[in-house]
Amino acid sequence: MTDLPASLRPFVLEVLDGDSVQVDRVGEIDFYRPGGTARTAAILFVHGGPGPAELEATPRDWPVYQGYASAVARRGLTAAVVDHSLIHGLDQLVTAADQVEAAVGVLRSDPRVDPDRVALWFFSGAGLLAGEWLDSRPDWLRCVALTYPLLATPPGVDELVNAAEVIGKHKDLPVLLTRAGLERPELAGPVAEFVSAGGTALDIIDVPKGHHGFDMLDHTEESRAAVTKALDWAIAHLGEDPDDKGKLLVPPPAAKPSTRRTAAAAKPAAARPAAKAPAEPASQQVPAAPTTTATPTPEPTPTPTPAPTPTATAAVTPLASVGAATVAAATADTPAARVVAREHAAYAAHDLEAFLAMYSPTARIEMADGTELKGRRFLREYYRSRFDAGQCKTEVVQKLMLGEWVVEHIQAYDTDQMVPMLALYRVTEGLIAEVQFRV
C-alpha cells in the first residue's frame, strides 16, 4: 500500500456491503445513489488542491472520495463528487468556485434529490472555497463540513471570502471542522484562528495522531472513528436518522433542533488569483430569454391531399404528412428544452441564484447589441440589478428544438417597450453553454 501514491491509497473505512449503490457520471460530477426512487437529502464532496504534478486519476476516482460517497449512499442519501480546476493550481481558484457553484445547481435540480436538504463538505485546499458559502448561507444549505482545510490564502493569490471572518455569521448554520493533530504548520495556524473565531458556532472532531490526509494515510482506529463521527454528524443535520444496524464505529450525535433558514445574500464577486500553495497530501447564464408565459406553438393544419388518380401504381406519402412530422420533431420536448425552461422559470421568479445555476461556469452570452458576457460571475453582475428591480419579463411566442439547440421567438419586456427578438440557446451536459440574442 505504501508504494501507491497517496491519492490512490484505500479509504480508511471499509465500505460495508448493503443495498446497491448506483453510480452515475454527469459531466464533471459523479452521483452515488441509494436503492429506491425516493427523493433524499444530498452531500456534495469538494476535493482540494493543488494536486501532484502528474495525476494518475482525477479526484473523483480517488478511493477516499469514492469511499465517502459510497458510505453516504449506503446510509440512504445521495452523494456527489465534483472534479474542479483547483487540482491544477491555486491560480484556478475563481474558476473552481464557479465550477462548484454549478455542481450545486446540478445536484439540487436532480429529480431524486431534495433541493432543500443539501450539505457541502470541503477538503484540504477547498477550504478556500468554503467562506463564500458560510457568508451567503442559502436557505437550502443545512450544514457545512471541513476536513483538514486550507483556510489562509497563500501569498500572491487574491482570496475569496475568508472563512474565519464569516464563521458564526449565520447562527443556525451547523459547521463541522475535522482537524489533524499532525497538520502541516502552514495550515495549522489558520485553522487555530478559525477555531478561535468560530467559538460555539463550530463543532470539532480532533484526530490527535492524524496527518493531513489521515483518511487515506493513517489506517488507525482513531482515523476510522473520526471519519465515522463526521459522517454521522452530516447525516444527522440533514434530518436523517443514523444507521442502527451496527455499521458505524461510534453512535451518532444528538440531532440539533431544525431551524428554518433565512435566505442568503448574493455571493460577492471574487478577485482573480494566481500562485501556488501546498500540494494535496502525497498522499450560464445569460440574458436567458427569461420567460413568464409561454405561448403554445400552434399545431400545423395538414393540407388535404388529393386522391390518387386511377393510373397511380404506387402509394405516395402525402407531402402534408411529411411536413407535419417534421414540425412535430422540431417542437417536441427535449432535454435541452427542459434546461432552458428551468432557466426561464427562475428568471420569471426573480431567483438570481437559481437562474445562474442553469448556466455553465464558462457560458458565453452575446447580447442583441453585440456586447458579450462570459462566465457566471459576469452574468451575476449584469443581472443582479435587473432582478432586484423586478425587470424580468419575457414571453415565448414560439420555439424550435434540434439536438442541443433551442431557438425561441420571444417578446422581451425588460424596458418600457416590448422588443421582439430571437434567442438561441445551446445546452451541453445539462447546462446552458451559449446564448445569442438577435433583433
Question: 314: number of CA atoms within 13 Å, CB side?
Answer: 2
Global pTM reads 0.61
| Burial of 292 (C-beta count, 10 Å sphere; 0-12/13-18/19+) | middle
**Sequence-separated (6 or more) residues with CB below 8 Å from residue 212:** 124, 148, 180, 182, 183, 184, 187, 281
- pLDDT of 346 reads 87
Rounded distance between C-alpha atoms, residue 227 and residue 238, angstroms: 17
**CA nearest to 401, candidates 419, 431, 427, 420:** 427
Phi, psi (5° rounding) for residue 51? -100, -175
Helix axes 63-74, 221-237, angle to 10 degrees: 50
Residues of the chain with pLDDT under 50: 244-279, 282-317, 319-329
Residue with cell 403554445: 296
**CA nearest to 34, candidates 82, 65, 80:** 80
- pLDDT of 310 reads 42
Rounded distance between C-alpha atoms, residue 294 and residue 423, angstroms: 14
SS3 labels along 167-204: CCCCCCCCEEEEEEEECCHHHHHHHHHHHHHHHHHEEE
- pLDDT of 240 reads 67
- In the structure grid, which three cell numbers stand for residue 186, read together? 502552514
Rounded distance between C-alpha atoms, residue 266 and residue 287, angstroms: 18
Mapped onto helix, strand or coil, the DSSP state of residue 117 is strand
The continuous run of DSSP H or E covering 380 comes out as: helix 376-389
Largest CA distance in the chain: 95
| Burial of 320 (C-beta count, 10 Å sphere; 0-12/13-18/19+) | middle
Interior angle at CA 82, CA 201 and CA 182, nearest 5: 50
**Sequence-separated (6 or more) residues with CB below 8 Å from residue 252:** 232, 233, 235, 236, 242
Q: How many angstroms separate the first and last alpha carbons of the chain?
A: 63
Rounded distance between C-alpha atoms, residue 366 and residue 435, angstroms: 6
Peptide bond into 50 cis (omega under 30): yes
* All domains of the chain in start order, with CATH: 6-237 (3.40.50.1820), 293-301+315-438 (3.10.450.50)
- pLDDT of 381 reads 80
**Sequence-separated (6 or more) residues with CB below 8 Å from residue 37:** 112
- pLDDT of 185 reads 93
Is the Cβ–Cβ distance between 202 and 222 less than 8 Å? no
Measured from the Cβ of residue 17, the count of other Cβ atoms closer than 10 Å reads 8
Is the Cβ–Cβ distance between 117 and 92 less than 8 Å? no
Rounded distance between C-alpha atoms, residue 224 and residue 201, angstroms: 25
- pLDDT of 294 reads 40
